[in-house]
Structure 1
């Protein structure tokens, strides 16, 4: 049995085929890049119809190449935090708000949760522009009415492809409206959002699977009757794909954005561990939680720097970076896209100090990358306070794989912790597949991790 793994990210849609052990098959990959519409006002949106068309195009490409012939399961890693308003017919009433969109503001006169600490512990989130508790009232005001219901981008896409498309507890935790212990919609969070149960997606029960709609079987006949596992939030899936599935090993993932996260076992109904005020907490599935923090900067620093700073490429860039010592760079703030919660800094908050006539483009870039490393190191110390011991760190993600210097900068910032690197560029899709087949702890073996602090 092969596994079709979908990675529904912010900057791209990917479909790849894995074998029964969740190892990617050579050449069985289809990818479509997505263009985020960015505005000076903090807007960061995707077109839902274009996104669905990109996913369908990936499936078409894999089908034409015969890669779908032996598929026995579909697993999905999907972006967290998106929201899309739909009318009564299920048609979008506007674009998809992504995690990067920073425009939402609390309604005039709204005061937030009665007990901020209790709210944070129950939902793992804050009353913040990033979450549906603030986004839904803001959307209603902009739309001039009350939409029939709200979904995330993956629920919209699956609603077009599957017989039914409930929201997984992993995706629901990213909305900020889920009680992480009871695994139901949190009454106070829903009240803040002004949302009734009918306006929110149905929650998928444990071990839910979906099926392709009958009218689409002719298009992808190999997927007829194949079960689709409930989607996993991309950050949680990346932890599993990095082998960071217990409280002794944290994942630092740098894709379009960046995050540092720690997974712990927490079955439904169990008392949750303490949660420091500066960290969020979401669900991996019905049995595990993930605690951490995230940043608006990551691999998108490469895209910005290539466009604006006109950096050299590949080996030439690494050679230019090699003469710069990590930790001894320009002082910089990498928040070009603003703060992720609980911070409120707007988009455009990045800056670089100590520029001179001798400053090169690569110096600016190194300063921004190094600044992110130091932010991660500080936040990892806060995560470690929840377990009372230093953890190992595994670096992963496409941006990390692209730069030896950035890996070395992370090693320098995270010392004296043991730092490793997982070279699989598809950790999100791999992790989602491992969760779907019930091999949660098989993410990465030690043989597949190389120590960056022992040389390359």
Structure 2
């Protein structure tokens, strides 16, 4: 059986043709033009046209029959619609944190802070749609008068492709309006935000489908009526795409952003707001932590990848330089240049180098950045392990795989085997797997498993050095708390 995985991410539209037996057959990716997406917002029509373009490209250059289409989109987005279900403004993405000041005021009420977290699984933070809306109604109530319905990036794509309205509980669980225990919209939070149930689409499982609309089918060259899944969030689908929809498997991805995720049969939340808990499907929850820290490498590359004579170095060059650094003599780095998400959720927090001295150079700084990003994630890992126990397997993915030095450092800091699967486009694959299940190609997505292509084992001689440095990192972390 052949299916299509279609994803609208923060920066690009992606489409894969996926075969139940052989995996990815073909793939297409199209970055959004600057006017369509600027990270914090997206043009709904531009996103749809980009998705249509990659879908058409896959169909036109492959003659295999397609049984279903599985959708993937970003978590934590918000789109206002008028009474005709037409967009009011642009899609607000997870990166839109204009509500930070409003949220900080709410954080001054610790009882509410904890209640919201334990009810929704979401930490009180400006990235969540409930607070984007709450802030907009507070600061610009007149503009909100024309808003009749609430939607999101993936819901908008599903509606344009099928003509119907629905939202998966997976997508909804990242909104802040959704109760992670009852698996329904939370009436108290709806009242707090001043919205009604009628403004939301019907809640469904991620395997729910509607037929592809005839006009869209003609436009891309597919038969009308092909099932299209309602779509789920890319973070959850990443977990599915690496074969982690079963219990005991943690995904550990480090790229532009970084995240740890683990599937559980019931909600699991820390006493104090730190890690998050969202919904996957079929009663399963997904607990995890996400950070902004991966962006720090891009920041460093733009400013420091050169020597005094102007020669440019690559990541591979800096890997070699960092490998020669003695960890005991390196500075420390708190990777919060873009604010802190997990575990402290301090939007105004800033990071930087600490305990730096005159003998340190760019190689020392690069080493400290790599270590600091991993210490941030290991800090989150210790909280997740205290909640759900040590995972049986940890699957490593993302840009970190391209760096032999950094991926070995990860194994050494976590002091456990890290498995590399070699899967690419994990979240798009996850969307395709839900399409396979919806089309009858597989029984359940948790039946999907991937054999590792590489095992990264920790070095025993690094235990003490990283244990001591992590303890020092935690001291510096606490000392610099806002």
What band does the TM-score fall into relative to the shorter chain? 0.7 to 0.9
Residue 450 in structure 1 maps to residue 474 in structure 2: no
Instruction: Report the counterpart of residue 369 of structure 2 in structure 1.
Output: 368
Equivalence map 1:186-201=2 (5 Å): 186-201=186-201
Residue 301 in structure 1 maps to residue 302 in structure 2: no
Residue 144 in structure 1 maps to residue 142 in structure 2: yes
Question: Which of 31, 34, 55 is equivalent to 1:33?
Answer: 31
Instruction: Report the counterpart of residue 55 of structure 1 in structure 2.
Output: 51
State the shift of 1:122 in Å: 2.7
Cα RMSD (Å) of the superposition?
Answer: 3.1
TM-score (norm 1): 0.86
TM-score (norm 2): 0.82
Q: Does the CA-based 8 Å contact 1:136-1:193 persist in structure 2?
A: yes
State the shift of 1:170 in Å: 0.4
State the shift of 1:149 in Å: 2.0
More deviation, 427-436/79-88: 427-436
Q: Deviations over 1:61-81 (max 9, x none)?
A: 2133126x4211111232100
Structure 1: gaps spanning 5 or more residues:
267-271
Q: Does the CA-based 8 Å contact 1:276-1:386 persist in structure 2?
A: no
Q: Deviations over 1:8-57 (max 9, x none)?
A: 221222111111147111xx1111123679xxxx9822333322222122
Instruction: Report the counterpart of residue 127 of structure 2 in structure 1.
Output: 130
Question: Which whole-Å CA distance do the structure 1 matches of 2:243 and 2:328 have between them?
Answer: 28
Q: Does the CA-based 8 Å contact 1:8-1:77 persist in structure 2?
A: yes
Question: Which of 439, 448, 455 is equivalent to 2:444?
Answer: 439
Instruction: Report the counterpart of residue 262 of structure 2 in structure 1.
Output: 262
Q: Deviations over 1:194-224 (max 9, x none)?
A: 2111222322257410222222221123252
Equivalence map 1:192-211=2 (5 Å): 192-205=192-205, 207-211=207-211
Residue 292 in structure 1 maps to residue 291 in structure 2: no
Q: Deviations over 1:278-301 (max 9, x none)?
A: 211001113210011111122x33
Q: Does the CA-based 8 Å contact 1:161-1:212 persist in structure 2?
A: yes
Q: Deviations over 1:338-395 (max 9, x none)?
A: 1226745336823223555654445433322221111111111111112344643211
Instruction: Report the counterpart of residue 96 of structure 2 in structure 1.
Output: 101
Instruction: Report the counterpart of residue 269 of structure 1 in structure 2.
Output: none
Q: Does the CA-based 8 Å contact 1:2-1:71 persist in structure 2?
A: yes
Structure 2: gaps spanning 5 or more residues:
306-311, 438-442, 460-482
Q: Does the CA-based 8 Å contact 2:269-2:276 persist in structure 1?
A: no
Question: Which whole-Å CA distance do the structure 2 matches of 1:12 and 1:328 have between them?
Answer: 41
Please identify the structure whose Cα radius of gyration is greater. Answer: 2
Question: Which of 56, 76, 85 is equivalent to 1:90?
Answer: 85
Question: Which whole-Å CA distance do the structure 2 matches of 1:108 and 1:349 have between them?
Answer: 16
SS at match of 1:259: strand
Equivalence map 1:344-359=2 (5 Å): 344-346=345-347, 349-355=350-356, 359=360
Higher fraction of helix? 2
Residue 280 in structure 1 maps to residue 279 in structure 2: no
Q: Does the CA-based 8 Å contact 2:97-2:132 persist in structure 1?
A: no
Question: Which whole-Å CA distance do the structure 1 matches of 2:224 and 2:326 have between them?
Answer: 55
Instruction: Report the counterpart of residue 422 of structure 2 in structure 1.
Output: 423
Equivalence map 1:241-256=2 (5 Å): 241-256=241-256
Question: Which whole-Å CA distance do the structure 2 matches of 1:153 and 1:206 have between them?
Answer: 15
Q: Structure 2 vs 1, CA of residues 313 and 107 (structure 1 numbering), >3 Å: closer, same or farther?
A: closer
SS at match of 2:59: helix
